[in-house]
């Protein structure tokens, strides 16, 4: 089918472990398309470092871990003791010289003693499981919190380059694998090691020669386990990557389901999903196959060892006077000796899956956060001047938090999302408090980029941006963004009531202030027509509202923020003309006494701007008021009169 993507295309687009320097770029040089992703495969690259880092989350429970180990020791000792006590039981039953009544009496006493021992072992095992489960859940909670908190610190660039589905797989599949390893694997490794050592000691105590026979099979068991482990380990990281690709594709197709149906793209989606789903199935099969065959193979080797040991033990009974009870107990120990080896070997798959998942989680945690509030002093402010400003204003060490009026100046600003392609080339402009500055131009000309730089979603490569004569890099970043409200073309409403969604603009606002903001945005009337008014619950990004209603809520949210600087980015481009006029009334009230930057394709919305900037290829080619630009007869005149259209 035409334009159908190959499996390699889908892997590259929907699996991203490491950012590629040569990422795919969209219009204007911004990360675009499916956002440029590459795949990392193979076993964990830094398994030792990853394990140490995981231990850092568990190490805070050292005392509890010591108690868990003590309980494991009790459980193992009771198991070994219970097995050894069977030796006199069997010898007592096999001894025909002892009267039957005495043998039965002795048997009952010993069985009661064995029962008491096993009850202690059960209690110790129960407590150990409870404690280890608590350690695992608490540790995973910390990891999940650290990962989520890290996401809040990452710049917009990171989210431009990573899909939601792949990020979600870190919180679900990868952390679930870590939880499984901490909860089960660590217990089985420690318990298996204790059991192995204890069983070996009891085997030597019971019969040294049979112990030597049993130990001869250990190299064979270890060789088989190592062979399978090497085969399986390389598939677990690629399995997690393939799972992330499936999650990313599902997330994108579900969120774009309407577009898929409009363009009858269902069949292509089914075929593409079939490709990546088959890729996941193949990787899961290989990983789980090698992990699954380890148990049966090692189990059969232990059965062979058991049979040989039993046969030689029988010969010792016949020719060297070794007791039957000793043979029976040793055979039991022989089987127990191979069980912890099998147990430890079978945990290889879980360990590799967990380390691969942890590596993916830590890769996010190690991403560089947004730059510090003050990466460097402004070019136009000396250190002495900054100290004076700090002395008379609220400077708290993170950055300036002075009151912002809204006098914005761009001076020779140069910027590129990709170092190889510059988007803005020496942009200079100013906006005095209360003025409206509009940007028009073709797609990719750099209009949205200007506002992204004002918010410090990205930092400039050259030049300076100042607000009230202070470089924006000198402001506390959170304080800066609290003073810039944005109304975007694509609104996002959270699950919650209408009241809560508007209050997102300022969380400490009262109900009366929320209602006043809704009235400012011309949203109050339609809200009151909803079933429960301001208490109406919105779900699915406000799917039960029209696009115009959602945009009015977005305007109300911006109005509530009381920010002195306002950015309107294509705020009316996706609504009809009648709704646009309704929204414009709300925006007119919103823009009053605010420094406003307007980005619009519809030129009718920018006629009242104090200054209109015409951008093309990252440069301002014309600037002036609506009437001045019409009189100029240039690019803006051609666009406004319809002689030419925006690209």
SS (H, E, C) 271-331: HHHHHHHHHHHHHHHHHHHHHHHHHHHHHHHHHHHHHHHHHHHHHHHHHCCCCHHHHHHHH
Name the region of 35 (left: φ>0; alpha: ψ -120 to 50; beta: rest).
left
Higher-scoring residue by pLDDT: 298, 515? 515
Residues near 546 by beta carbon (within 8 Å), at least 6 away in sequence: 579
Residue 619 phi, psi (nearest 5): -130, 145
Q: What is the pLDDT of residues 267-297, one digit of tens each?
A: 888 888 888 888 888 888 877 777 677 667 7
Q: What is the pLDDT of residues 300-323, one digit of tens each?
A: 777 787 788 888 888 888 777 787
Cα separation, 179 vs 185, in Å, equals 9
Whole-model pTM: value is: 0.63
Q: Please tell me what DSSP assigns to residue 446.
A: S
Percentage of residues of the chain with pLDDT beyond 70? 78
Task: Give the pLDDT confidence score for residue 410 in this predicted structure.
Answer: 93
Task: Give the pLDDT confidence score for residue 32 in this predicted structure.
Answer: 40
C-alpha distances in Å from residue 141, one per residue of 130, 148, 185: 17, 10, 18
Residue 31 three-state SS: strand
Which domains, from first to last, does the chain contain?
Answer: 46-364 (1.20.1560.10), 488-562 (3.40.50.300)
Q: What is the pLDDT of residues 25-64, one digit of tens each?
A: 343 444 443 333 333 334 556 778 888 888 888 888 889 8
């Amino acid at each position: 089918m035409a334009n159908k993507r190959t499996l390699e295309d889908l892997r590259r687009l929907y699996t991203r472990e490491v950012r590629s320097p040569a990422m795919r770029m969209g219009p204007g040089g911004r990360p675009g398309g499916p956002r440029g992703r590459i795949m990392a495969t193979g076993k964990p690259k830094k398994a030792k470092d990853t394990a140490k880092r995981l231990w850092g989350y568990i190490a805070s429970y050292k005392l509890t871990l010591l108690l868990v180990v003590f309980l494991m020791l009790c459980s193992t000792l009771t198991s070994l003791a219970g097995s050894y006590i069977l030796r006199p039981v069997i010898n007592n039953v096999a001894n025909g010289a002892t009267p039957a009544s005495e043998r039965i009496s002795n048997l009952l006493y010993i069985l009661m003693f064995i029962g008491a021992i096993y009850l202690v072992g059960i209690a110790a095992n129960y407590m150990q499981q409870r404690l280890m489960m608590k350690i695992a859940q608490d540790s995973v909670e910390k990891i999940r919190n650290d990962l989520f908190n890290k996401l809040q610190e990452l710049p917009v660039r990171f989210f431009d380059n990573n899909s939601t589905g792949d990020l979600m797989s870190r919180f679900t599949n990868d952390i679930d694998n870590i939880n499984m390893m901490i909860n089960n694997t660590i217990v089985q490794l420690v318990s298996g090691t204790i059991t192995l050592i204890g069983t070996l000691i009891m085997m030597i105590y019971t019969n040294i020669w049979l112990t030597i026979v049993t130990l001869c099979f250990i190299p064979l068991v270890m060789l088989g386990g190592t062979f399978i482990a090497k085969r399986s380990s390389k598939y677990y990281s690629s399995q997690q990557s393939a799972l992330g690709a499936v999650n990313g594709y599902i997330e994108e197709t579900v969120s774009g389901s309407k577009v898929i149906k409009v363009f009858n793209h269902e069949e292509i989606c089914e075929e593409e999903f079939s490709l990546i789903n088959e890729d996941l199935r193949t990787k899961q099969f290989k990983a789980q196959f090698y992990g699954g065959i380890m148990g049966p193979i090692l189990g059969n080797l232990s059965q062979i060892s058991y049979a040989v040991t039993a046969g030689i033990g029988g010969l010792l009974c016949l020719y060297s006077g070794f007791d039957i009870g000793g043979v029976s107990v040793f055979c039991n120990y022989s089987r127990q000796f191979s069980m912890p080896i099998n147990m430890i070997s079978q945990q290889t798959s879980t360990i590799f899956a967990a380390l691969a998942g942890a590596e993916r989680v830590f890769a996010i945690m190690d991403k560089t956060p947004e730059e510090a509030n003050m990466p460097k002093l402004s070019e136009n402010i000396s250190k002495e001047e900054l100290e004076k400003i700090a002395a008379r204003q609220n400077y708290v060490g993170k950055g300036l938090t002075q009151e912002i009026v809204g006098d914005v100046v761009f001076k020779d600003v140069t910027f590129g999302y990709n170092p190889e392609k510059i988007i803005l080339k020496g942009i200079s402009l100013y906006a005095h408090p209360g003025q409206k500055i509009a940007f028009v131009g073709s797609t990719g000309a750099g209009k949205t980029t200007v506002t992204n730089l004002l918010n410090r979603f990205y930092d400039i490569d050259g030049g300076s941006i100042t607000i009230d004569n202070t470089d924006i890099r000198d402001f506390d970043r959170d304080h800066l963004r609290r003073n810039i409200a944005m109304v975007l073309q694509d609104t996002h409403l959270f699950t919650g009531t209408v009241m809560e969604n508007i209050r997102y603009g300022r969380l400490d606002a009262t109900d009366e202030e929320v209602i006043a903001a809704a009235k400012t945005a011309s949203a109050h009337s339609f809200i009151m027509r909803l079933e429960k008014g301001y208490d109406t619950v919105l779900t699915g990004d406000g799917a039960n509202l029209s696009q115009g209603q959602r945009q009015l809520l977005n305007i109300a949210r911006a109005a509530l923020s009381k920010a002195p600087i306002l950015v309107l980015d294509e705020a009316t481009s996706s609504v009809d003309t009648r709704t646009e006029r309704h929204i414009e009334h709300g925006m007119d009230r919103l823009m009053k006494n605010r420094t406003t930057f307007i980005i619009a394709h519809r030129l009718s919305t920018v006629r009242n701007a104090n200054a209109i900037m015409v951008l093309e290829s990252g440069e301002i080619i014309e600037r002036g008021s609506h009437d001045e630009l019409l009189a100029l007869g240039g690019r803006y005149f051609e666009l406004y009169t319809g002689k030419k259209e925006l690209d």
